[in-house]
Structure 1
Amino acid sequence: MASDRGQRKSTIYDIATSTGTSPSTVSMVLNGTWRRYRISESTAERVLGAARAIGYAVNMKARGLRLARSGLAGMIMPHYRNRFFAGLSESFEAGARERGFCPMVVSTQRRPETEREVVERLLSHQVEFLFIVGVARPEPLNDLCRAAGTPCVNIDLPGANAPSVVSDNRGGAAMLTGLLLDKIAATGGGAGSGGADLHFLGGVAGEYATEERVAGFQEAVAGHGFTVSKTHIHRCGYSPATARQTVEEMHHRLGGMPAGLFVNSITAFEGAIQFFKSLEPDAFRDRFIGCFDWDPFAAFLPFPVTMLRQNVEAMIDQAFVYMEEYRVDACPMVKIPPQFGPSGTVPRHG
Structure 2
Amino acid sequence: MARNPTNRKSTIYDIAKATGSSISAVSMVLNGTWARYRIKEETAQRILASAAQLGYNVNMKARGLRLSRSGLAGMILPHYRNRFFAGLAETFEDHARNRGLCPIVVSTQRDPAVEASVTETLISQQVELLFIAGVRNPTPLDALCSAAGIPCINVDLPGEGAPSVVSDNRGGARALADVLMDKMKARGNAPDELLFLGGVTDEYATDMRIAGYRDAFEARGISPAADAVECFGYAASSARLALARRYESLGRLPAGLLMNSITAFEGLVQFASSLSRDAWQSTVVGCFDWDPFAAHLPFEVTMMRQDVQKIISEAFALADKHDDRHDATAHPLVVVPTGFGPMSGEDDRMVEPESVGKVSVSGL
Asked whether the two chains share a fold, i.e. TM above 0.5, the reply is: yes
The corresponding residue for 1:152 is 152
The corresponding residue for 1:120 is 120
Give the superposition deviation at 1:190. Answer: 1.9
Query: What letter corresponds to residue 215 of structure 2 in structure 1?
Result: E
75-84 or 274-283: bigger deviation: 274-283
Query: What letter corresponds to residue 336 of structure 1 in structure 2?
Result: V
Query: What letter corresponds to residue 326 of structure 1 in structure 2?
Result: H
For the pair 1:261 / 2:257, whether they are aligned, the reply is yes
What's the secondary structure of 1:289's corresponding residue? Answer: strand
- Mapped contact 1:131–1:152 kept (Cα < 8 A): yes
Q: Distance in 2 between matches of 1:49 and 1:251?
A: 78
Give the superposition deviation at 1:346. Answer: 2.6
Question: CA RMSD for the aligned pairs?
Answer: 3.0
The corresponding residue for 2:304 is 308
Give the superposition deviation at 1:189. Answer: 1.4
The corresponding residue for 1:15 is none
Q: Distance in 2 between matches of 1:320 and 1:285?
A: 44
The corresponding residue for 1:295 is 291
- Mapped contact 1:33–1:149 kept (Cα < 8 A): no
For the pair 1:229 / 2:225, whether they are aligned, the reply is yes
2:197 to 193, 196, 201: 201
The corresponding residue for 1:320 is 316
- Extract unaligned runs of 5+ from structure 1: 1-18, 20-27
The corresponding residue for 2:180 is 180
The corresponding residue for 2:245 is 249
Q: Sort the Cα spacing of 1:273 and 1:142 in 2 relative to 1 into closer, same or farther, 3 A.
A: same
Q: Distance in 2 between matches of 1:305 and 1:55?
A: 63
The corresponding residue for 1:163 is 163
The corresponding residue for 1:108 is 108
1:286 to 282, 286, 291: 282
1:227-255 per-position Cα deviation (integer Å, ceiling 9, x unaligned) = 01231101010011111111111111121
The corresponding residue for 2:338 is 338
TM-score when scaled to structure 2?
Answer: 0.78
Q: Sort the Cα spacing of 1:315 and 1:53 in 2 relative to 1 into closer, same or farther, 3 A.
A: closer
1:276 to 272, 278, 282: 272
Q: Distance in 2 between matches of 1:153 and 1:183?
A: 39
What's the secondary structure of 1:199's corresponding residue? Answer: strand
Q: Sort the Cα spacing of 1:66 and 1:55 in 2 relative to 1 into closer, same or farther, 3 A.
A: closer
Query: What letter corresponds to residue 150 of structure 1 in structure 2?
Result: I
Give the superposition deviation at 1:65. Answer: 5.3
The corresponding residue for 2:357 is none
1:197-218 per-position Cα deviation (integer Å, ceiling 9, x unaligned) = 1111100000000000000001
Report matched runs for 1:6-45 at 5 Å: 32-33=32-33
The corresponding residue for 1:141 is 141
Give the superposition deviation at 1:186. Answer: 1.0
Q: Distance in 2 between matches of 1:189 and 1:246?
A: 21
For the pair 1:68 / 2:74, whether they are aligned, the reply is no
Give the superposition deviation at 1:34. Answer: 6.8
What's the secondary structure of 1:226's corresponding residue? Answer: coil
The corresponding residue for 1:95 is 95
Q: Distance in 2 between matches of 1:96 and 1:34?
A: 18
1:58-107 per-position Cα deviation (integer Å, ceiling 9, x unaligned) = x56xx845531111111000000110001011111100111111111000
What's the secondary structure of 1:231's corresponding residue? Answer: coil
Query: What letter corresponds to residue 142 of structure 1 in structure 2?
Result: D
1:286-317 per-position Cα deviation (integer Å, ceiling 9, x unaligned) = 21000000111111111000001100000001
TM-score when scaled to structure 1?
Answer: 0.81
Q: Distance in 2 between matches of 1:211 and 1:53?
A: 55
Query: What letter corresponds to residue 346 of structure 1 in structure 2?
Result: D
How many corresponding residue pairs? 310
Report matched runs for 1:79-90 at 5 Å: 79-90=79-90
1:133-157 per-position Cα deviation (integer Å, ceiling 9, x unaligned) = 0001111111100100000110000
Q: Distance in 2 between matches of 1:95 and 1:54?
A: 37
